[in-house]
Amino acid sequence: MKMTGAEIFLESLKREKVKHIFGYPGGVVLNIFDLLYDDKKLQLILTRHEQGAVHAADGYARVSGKAGVALVTSGPGATNTVTGIATASMDSIPMVVFTGQVPTMLIGNDAFQEADIVGITRPCCKYNFLANNIEDLAEIVRDAFHIATSGRPGPVLVDLPKDVTVAKTEFIWPEKVDIRSYRPKYEGNKFMIKKAADLISKATKPVIVAGGGVILSGASKELTALAKLTDTPVTMTLMGLGCFPGSHKLSLGMPGMHGTYYANMAIQNADLLVAVGMRFDDRVTGTIETFAPNAKIIHIDIDPTSIRKNIPVDVPIVGDVKRVLTVLNKLLKDNDQKQWAPVRKKWLKQVDAWKAEHPMSYAESDDVIKPQFVVEKIHELTKGDAIITTEVGQNQMWAAQFYKFEKPRQWLTSGGLGTMGYGFPAAIGAQFAAPDKLVIDIAGDGSIQMNIQELATAVINKLPVKVAILNNRFLGMVRQWQELFFDERYSHTGLDVTPDFVKVAEAYGAVGLRATKPSEVVPVLKEAFKINKTVFMDFEVDWHEKVYPMVPAGASIDHMLFDESIEKSAKKKKLRAVK
Amino acid sequence: MRHTISLLVENKFGVLSRVAGLFSGRGYNIESISVGETLDSKISQMTIVTSGDDQIIEQITKQLNKLIDVIKVTDMLELDHVEREMILLKIAPQANRKLEAIEIANIFRGKVVDSSEKTLTIEITGTEDKLTAFVNMMKPMGIKELVRTGKVAITRVGTKK
Ligand SMILES: Cc1ncc(C[n+]2csc(CCOP(=O)(O)OP(=O)(O)O)c2C)c(N)n1
């Protein structure tokens, strides 16, 4: 039976087991949307901005592990997806974005709502297609999902010209995918893994640095086994949080610019780094020249370009983290019956001493709400079990520092691109992927305004997403840099006119709550978590508060700045270690 | 150090811009690039001359390999190979030096492919050294125009450096 391109497209999505599409309609995709009107298997979730649709698809992917899907129109619809695609690309998130396109005979003519979206997104997606022939459409959809979800995952864009979705042909679903120029390597080199096992056995001061690749590969179990087997402390990059239980005694929290003192000290003093599914981002390494000066480096990553890009390594292992760790763990178990505890005793004692020296802490107050206190209470009340998304800025760093993630796929943040406006739509996508979970966006008052229109999406879909706005009336992170490095000249970072977020929430039909004093924080959180609706919580926090520790740009990661008010440990602000 | 990198790529719309975009986006330089179909019309061959230290060249070859449409990447420097480039050179020698120009072209195994009252156009193929020497010899003759194809390279059979 002949089918139209639009029918083939939707049928192909069903073959790929897609259930949710985040999207926004327009001229050239009208025929596709018409089919979706009474489709029983595919649910289109109408966002209020195409950027929101792509971030929602991204959040959906991070929670479910499956490719997120977005569908938008040509021209402005397509260009509005770019930030979302670049965000997913930097964080290796599997996603397929479908954009409408003007009919093939008009392409290149500056037709109404024409944009060369394939050209525009070429450098910020894993791959993209212009489906200019209906005969190839099913195969292109199949390839798109295959490319997005295999190897190092990433976003793929498929541009669908109007005439192709209108044309008719026989539907043939390709039973298997084979792209001769794309065959990711999954198995690590045996010899290199053996070398890695030897190095680990000999090391006296090793540290595991785990990144987002561990989560993408589904290798948390293997990573945790490696750490426990060899008694090796683990630090997790921003993207890696949750791949090892944050409350475990071997956890060092996050390294780098706003990382913990003990993670950075451990790296700088280590004799071996086992880097797993991470890419030595500059926010992790600080100055390269002085990074981990005494350490040999084992680097496991599925993407060969990640290896030796920023840092020389001793044992490069290209392969899927899960498979490599499985082999490595087996070697370590078989080869070596040694008792690790006595070997590591001294090193772990040193690590504990660093933990005691500068625990993650902040100066408490009874008068003003400290943003870290809010995050801490969110952690406490949710027992570390919520899905947390963030915006970008101080809110993101405090969430990373003070929420202890126990499991993978409960932490969604724009790590690589640092996209303000990510968290709220991502939370919406996350809630679709995990309807029974508590999903909380920890936000800044600046960032939340970048996709605040998605309140409508949350409300109409009855999503009980919670947004905790750490409202400091500033673009806080930028203000922090201005305070520290630009003589407190707060150029264009004061948000003097900020909307009344409670009223904004109410205007959309959501619930708005506010806390202005520390004593109101817990009651507001408790109430919000009780209500089965979209809730905005406006926490009026201390605007002076800064993210610490901090490694200034261009410094070595053991040159950290600390909060002086804690250092002095003034009477009222008692020092407080966070468990 | 200078490297000649040979690529086999899918002969698809947009592949050249993916490859060129990789170089510009990551700040690598391209000294020359030449593209053509292979015997299999679905596959194109590209020869790119680039330069950088070992770490950069390693990144370039890995990044090229990572492009979905790239089938094979060969760094010719690692292999015994033959490299050639062609130049078309239009000169306007003084009347009394025209024969001399033709003589030089002959010595370099160049060919006069066009001539007019005032100009001569010479085609010459060779290695970079030879072409440079030839162009230098011709400079006093008054070079009007010079176009070059960019390098192409092929491995020698059965030899490994
Ligand atoms: C789209 C975008 N524009 C600009 C920036 C630069 N930037 C990084 S943090 C930040 C301030 C964020 O302010 P807010 O959302 O209020 O969060 P806070 O730092 O106060 O927690 C800015 C402007 C960015 N990351 N993303």
**Per-residue pLDDT tens listing for chain A (579 residues):** 899 999 999 999 999 999 999 999 999 999 999 999 999 999 999 999 999 999 999 999 999 999 999 999 999 999 999 999 999 999 999 999 999 999 999 999 999 999 999 999 999 999 999 999 999 999 999 999 999 999 999 999 999 999 999 999 999 999 999 999 999 999 999 999 999 999 999 999 999 999 999 999 999 999 999 999 999 999 999 999 999 999 999 999 999 999 999 999 999 999 999 999 999 999 999 999 999 999 999 999 999 999 999 999 999 999 999 999 999 999 998 766 567 778 899 999 999 999 999 999 999 999 999 999 999 999 999 999 999 999 999 999 999 999 999 999 999 999 999 999 999 999 999 999 999 999 999 999 999 999 999 999 999 999 999 999 999 999 999 999 999 999 999 999 999 999 999 999 999 999 999 999 999 999 999 999 999 999 999 999 999 999 999 999 889 999 999 998 776 654 334 444 443
Would the CB atoms of B66 and A119 count as touching at under 8 Å?
no
In a 10 Å sphere around its CB, with 0-12 CB exposed, 13-18 middle and 19+ buried, how is residue A171 labelled? Answer: middle
Residue A542 alpha carbon to ligand 1 centre in Å = 17
Query: Is B157's pLDDT higher than 90?
Result: no
Are β-strands B152-155 and B81-91 bridged in parallel, bridged antiparallel, or unpaired? antiparallel
d(CA A510, CA A148): 35
Distance (Å) of CA B93 to CA B88, B107, B117: 16, 17, 10
Residue whose CA is closest, atom 2 of ligand 1? Answer: A420
Chain A residue whose CA is closest to B56: A309
Q: Percent helix, strand, coil in chain B (nearest 5)?
A: 35, 40, 25
Say if residues A324 and A191 touch (Cβ distance below 8 Å).
no
Residue A336: per-residue pLDDT: 61
The minimum-distance atom of ligand 1 relative to the CA of A418 is 25
Residue A337: per-residue pLDDT: 59
Say if residues A467 and A539 touch (Cβ distance below 8 Å).
no
Q: Is the Cβ of B14 closer than 8 Å to some Cβ of chain A?
A: yes
Residue B159: per-residue pLDDT: 56
d(CA A251, CA A262): 10
Q: Is the Cβ of B26 closer than 8 Å to some Cβ of chain A?
A: no
Say if residues B93 and B141 touch (Cβ distance below 8 Å).
yes
Helical (H) or strand (E) element with A64:
helix A50-64
Question: Residue A444 forms beta bridges with which residues?
Answer: A470
d(CA A86, CA A123): 9
Token pair 């780094």 is found at: A273
Residue whose CA is closest, atom 8 of ligand 1? Answer: A393
Chain B residue whose CA is closest to A307: B59
Q: Is A454 a catalytic residue?
A: no
d(CA A564, CA A557): 18
Say if residues A437 and A412 touch (Cβ distance below 8 Å).
no
Chain A positions touching B38 (Cβ under 8 A) are none
Q: At what angle do helices B54-66 and B15-25 cross, to 10 degrees?
A: 150
Over A523-539, what HEC string results? HHHHHHHHCCCCEEEEE
Is the Cα torsion angle A264, A268, A274, A276 positive or negative in sign?
Answer: positive
Query: What contacts A152, CB < 8 A, 6 or more positions away?
Result: A92, A126, A184, A213, A216, A302, A303
Q: How many CB atoms lie within 10 A of CB A572?
A: 11
Are β-strands A387-390 and A439-444 bridged in parallel, bridged antiparallel, or unpaired? parallel
Q: Which of A477, A480, A498, A544 to mutate to test the pocket of ligand 1 (most atoms within 8 A of CB)?
A: A477
Residue A404 alpha carbon to ligand 1 centre in Å = 23
Query: Is B19's pLDDT higher than 60?
Result: yes
Q: Which residues of A128-159 are buried (b: 16+ CB within 10 A; e: fewer)?
A: bbbbbebeebbbbbbbbbbbbbbbbbbbbbbb
Query: What contacts A531, CB < 8 A, 6 or more positions away?
Result: A464, A511
Are β-strands A155-161 and A127-130 bridged in parallel, bridged antiparallel, or unpaired? parallel
Q: Which residues of A406-431 are buried (b: 16+ CB within 10 A; e: fewer)?
A: bbbbbbbbbbbbbbbbbbbbbbbbbb
Q: How many CB atoms lie within 10 A of CB A347?
A: 21
Token pair 């964080």 is found at: A91
d(CA A401, CA A395): 10
pTM: 0.95
Token pair 């044309």 is found at: A167
d(CA B152, CA A379): 62
d(CA A15, CA A5): 15
Residue A574: per-residue pLDDT: 42
- In the set A16, A50, A454, A545, the catalytic residue is A50
Q: How many CB atoms lie within 10 A of CB B30?
A: 17
Residue whose CA is closest, atom 20 of ligand 1? Answer: A476
Residue whose CA is closest, atom 18 of ligand 1? Answer: A476
Query: What contacts B49, CB < 8 A, 6 or more positions away?
Result: B2, B3, B4, B5, B30, B31, B32, B33, B150, B151
The set of protein residues with a Cβ atom below 6 angstroms from ligand 1 is A 391-395, 418-421, 444-447, 470, 472, 474-478
Q: Quick one: what percent of chain B has pLDDT higher than 70?
A: 98
Q: Is A477 a catalytic residue?
A: yes
- The alpha helices in A239-290, defined as continuous H runs, are 261-269, 282-285
Tallying the residues shown for chain A, one arrives at: 579
Which tokens in the block code for residue A9? 């497209």
> Cis link prior to A549 (omega < 30° from 0)?
yes
Which tokens in the block code for residue B41? 């019309």
Cα–Cα nearest to A235, from A264, A277, A215, A213 = A264
Q: What is the dihedral of CA A454, A460, A466, A471, to 10 degrees?
A: 40
Q: Is A291 a catalytic residue?
A: no
Would the CB atoms of B66 and A127 count as touching at under 8 Å?
no
Domains of chain B: 2-79 (3.30.70.260), 82-154 (3.30.70.1150)
d(CA B125, CA B65): 30
- Residue A558's SS3 state is coil
Cα–Cα nearest to A270, from A297, A251, A288 = A297
Supply the DSSP symbol for A419: -
Are β-strands B111-115 and B120-126 bridged in parallel, bridged antiparallel, or unpaired? antiparallel
Say if residues A391 and A420 touch (Cβ distance below 8 Å).
yes
In a 10 Å sphere around its CB, with 0-12 CB exposed, 13-18 middle and 19+ buried, how is residue B84 labelled? Answer: middle
Query: Is B161's pLDDT higher than 60?
Result: no
Cα–Cα nearest to A254, from A411, A423, A369, A377 = A411
B9, B25, B68: residue with CB nearest A182: B68
Say if residues A423 and A441 touch (Cβ distance below 8 Å).
yes
Listed by number, the residues of chain B in 79-118 with a beta carbon closer than 8 Å to a beta carbon of chain A are none
Residue A285: per-residue pLDDT: 96
A130, A182, A308: residue with CB nearest B58: A308
In a 10 Å sphere around its CB, with 0-12 CB exposed, 13-18 middle and 19+ buried, how is residue A263 labelled? Answer: buried
Would the CB atoms of A119 and B17 count as touching at under 8 Å?
yes
Residue A10: per-residue pLDDT: 98
Residue whose CA is closest, atom 16 of ligand 1? Answer: A446
Say if residues A442 and A395 touch (Cβ distance below 8 Å).
yes
